[in-house]
Amino acid sequence: MTGSHFYFASCVLLLTLSWRTSSGLPLSARGAQECGDCALLLRELLQSIPKLLSSDVLFYGINLNRSDWLKMPVREDETTLACAPTLTQGSSCTMQRNSSFSESECLSNIGKDLAFYAAALKSYRKLQLRKQEEEVSLLSPTLEIIQCLWETCPLMQNGENYFSEEAARLWERNPFSDRLQMHKIMLGFYVRTITINRAMGYIASGDHRK
């Protein structure tokens, strides 16, 4: 990992560790007309994941310390690199690059990220879970948000089927090991969702068109 990658990851981890989780019931199911816009959906996704991570139902017996956060499986850096702002005098916490920013490339990579995590969530729901019905119910609203993002946001293509086999290989078919793996995947998803929200904020600002 290069120094800039490590520094960027450290900044994101600081944001993640400082996020205050809150309890709450799952979001209700929605129709396509109730999806809302991309920015609101991504903010909703960012807020939904800590609630899942704090669930004793989903992650019974899982208690990771902070050093374990550094071992979490985050998808490859394509999105981080593709969505990095063009080099400016901006924040030192933002990975930047000299090449021009491609909005379509950034959104395409975000779509792939969402597809991978959606495939992982759906694959996990098919396992023999400790509290099957309740756990499926807890995970469903997050999948609904992702589906809404695919329906609402331009260029965020649904590539879920592409990752279905990869997602199936994540699990050992051992309840505790799979819960632990799922917890780490959700931590990685949370970090990636922070990156996605930052990228969408940059796109919305229009700075890349100046």
DSSP state of 157: -
Instruction: Provide the mean pLDDT of the chain.
Output: 75
- Kindly state the percentage of the chain with pLDDT values over 90: 34
**In the chain, domain spans:** 3-209
pTM of the model: 0.74
Distances (CA, A) of 31 to 2, 85, 94, 148: 43, 34, 36, 9
Alpha helices by DSSP H, listed for the chain, are: 3-18, 38-53, 66-69, 78-82, 103-125, 132-152, 164-168, 175-205
Rg over CA atoms, the chain: 17
pLDDT in tens, 159-185: 666 788 888 899 998 999 999 999 999
Residue 13 clears pLDDT 90, i.e. is over it: no
